[in-house]
Amino acid sequence: MELLKQRILQDGEIRGGNVLKVDSFLNHQLDIPLFEEIGQEFQRLFADKKINKILTIESSGIAVACIAARYFNVPVVFAKKTQSINIDGAVHVTRVQSVTTRRVYEVIVSKKYLGANDHVLIIDDFLANGCAAMGLIDLARNAGATIEGFGVVIEKGFQQGGKLIRADGVDVRSLVTIDSLDEKTGSIVFRD
């Protein structure tokens, strides 16, 4: 998605540990016209799938999932991160390791909002090592839902998540894939 590449080149900041900061348009301040383009692109990429729900994880996946949902005309369910050990029985639960804090979170979705009749599109802002995505896949599978695909805004192609999830049989589509980030020169290389 050319518009997104240009925006990343213009406003993305490379931080240590191969982190790309996109706070000015995707993760903190949100550029809604850009989100609308992103939502339409996901709709185009998954147009042949029968999707009745979008599944994401709090917090940064929520905004992009909500705008995409307008184009699919379906509800969004977001998995909640919780550290509570007193989890209500009526939830699907899995564990996810946070990339930034290294802590392991329990992640839950109510059984009321995710079940065997659902055909879900999973959406997230970034795909790096795939921990968040695998948690969402696990939740959907536990619920007996059908995973129609996984839409990601920025895939870091030099990390393992994309490979792992595609090998698991999930149809992963990224709007842009980054092959390398160089903190010293500021260079960002995209995959064609």
| Residue 48: other Cβ atoms inside 10 A | 7
Residue 126 in the binding site for ligand 5GP (CB under 6 A) = yes
Give whichever of 44 and 163 is closer to ligand 5GP, judged by the CB atom. 163
Structure tokens given for 37: 């383009």
Residue 82 in the binding site for ligand 5GP (CB under 6 A) = no
Residue 130 in the binding site for ligand 5GP (CB under 6 A) = yes
Residue 24 in the binding site for ligand 5GP (CB under 6 A) = no
Residue 8 in the binding site for ligand 5GP (CB under 6 A) = no
Minimum CB distance to ligand 5GP, residue 176 (Å): 12
Q: Using CB under 6 A as the criterion, what x/- string covers residues 151-170 for binding ligand 5GP?
A: -----x----x---------
SS3 content of the chain, % helix, strand, coil (to 5): 30, 35, 35
Give whichever of 39 and 130 is closer to ligand 5GP, judged by the CB atom. 130
Residue 150 in the binding site for ligand 5GP (CB under 6 A) = no
Q: Is 177 exposed, middle or buried (0-12, 13-18, 19+ CB in 10 A)?
A: middle
- Residue by residue, DSSP assigns 119-170 as EEEEEEEEESSSHHHHHHHHHHHHTT-EEEEEEEEEEETTSSHHHHHHHTT-
| d(C-alpha 35, C-alpha 83), whole Å | 30
Residue 124 in the binding site for ligand 5GP (CB under 6 A) = yes
Give whichever of 95 and 144 is closer to ligand 5GP, judged by the CB atom. 95
Structure tokens given for 154: 């920025």
Residue 132 in the binding site for ligand 5GP (CB under 6 A) = yes
Q: What is the torsion angle, in degrees rounded to the nearest 10, for the CA atoms of residue 44, residue 48, residue 52 and residue 58?
A: -40
Give residues in contact with ligand 5GP (CB under 6 A). 19-22, 27, 60, 99, 124-133, 156, 161
